[in-house]
Amino acid sequence: MARRLNLWRWAVLGLAALYFLIPMAASVLFTVDVPGEGVTFDAYTQIVSADGFLSSLLLSLELAVATIAVVLLLTVPAVVALRLSAPRLRPVVEIVCSLPLVVPPIAFVAGIVTVLKWGPDHLSRTPLFETFVAVQNPDFPVVLVIAYVVMALPFVYRALDAGLRAVDVRTLVEAARSCGASWPQALVRAVLPNLRGALLNASFLTLALVLGEFTVARLLGFEPFAVWIYDVGGSQAQMSVAVSVLSLLVTWALLLALAGAGGRDRTASSRG
């Protein structure tokens, strides 16, 4: 019986590997096989020097860092306070944080566009007019950070909630408070070190979302990394696919590094 289960498990894993690796191999072959020239890696060597590559990548990374910082600053204190003081509100908060999964991105960005158009028309003689202009600065569009924070809420909340379930938060906070720590100090020094894996998971999921998000940025008229890949694909298809392949490999590398860090944390915790 156990042998059959192992065979079935390996068969499922093999089919899953083929499902992911065959398209990946086809993409790599498309980028290196040039008709009439044979195998060449020009599509990869020309990426760094391509017009707009570094600026769009840096913009996406800046947006990702800002989004991670904002969403963690908002959710970490909220979920800890929820578990300590108001556990009955947990279903309400869970539903609210899950709403971005229900609203289609097209409807979401349509609402943002409506607000951005309404603001200058009705607030042109107020100080808030400058705020609407500032959040749409192409060098660093704060409006995208706001949108990405909302879109990342379901994933960040789930990751943090799973981490908190494995930690006795009340005991940690009470122990820190009995030693003279304030509430912020108890959160930073007692709770957060025990949520390192959950924080890494939430940060990685947010990073992947920001780097791969296309609809909101495109419809709002900005050009982060995903939009740049799409624009390049219209004129340089091989380079566009090459960038996508490299992005996927980097994402996998980050995921493996995250898994390794989480494994080391669990090992250290079990030894302690």
Q: Residue 174 is part of a domain; what is its CATH number?
A: 1.10.3720.10
Number of domains in the chain: 1
Q: How many CB atoms lie within 10 A of CB 207?
A: 21
Residue 13 domain-assigned?
A: no
Residue 242 domain-assigned?
A: no
- Tokens, residue 262: 């989480």
Enclosing domain of residue 116: 52-224
Residue 167 domain-assigned?
A: yes
Q: What does residue 91 show for φ and ψ, rounded to 5 degrees?
A: -60, -35
DSSP, res 213: -
Average pLDDT value for the chain: 83
Residue 84 domain-assigned?
A: yes
Q: 34 forms bridges with which residues in the sheet?
A: 38
Which of 86-95, 116-125, 139-148, 228-237 holds the top average pLDDT?
139-148
Residue 166 domain-assigned?
A: yes
145, 66 in Cβ contact below 8 A? Answer: yes
At 125-140, the pLDDT tens digits run 777 777 778 888 889 9
- pLDDT at 256 exceeding the cut of 80: no
- Greater confidence, 110 or 235? 110
- pLDDT at 250 exceeding the cut of 80: no
CA–CA dist 161, 196 (Å, integer): 13
Q: What pLDDT score was predicted for residue 134?
A: 83
Closest CA to 53 of 214, 243, 238: 243
Q: What pLDDT score was predicted for residue 117?
A: 82
Residue 176 domain-assigned?
A: yes
Residue 132 domain-assigned?
A: yes
1, 212 in Cβ contact below 8 A? Answer: no
Q: Residue 270: pLDDT band by 50, 70, 90 thresholds? A: very low
Residue 270 domain-assigned?
A: no
- pLDDT at 24 exceeding the cut of 60: yes
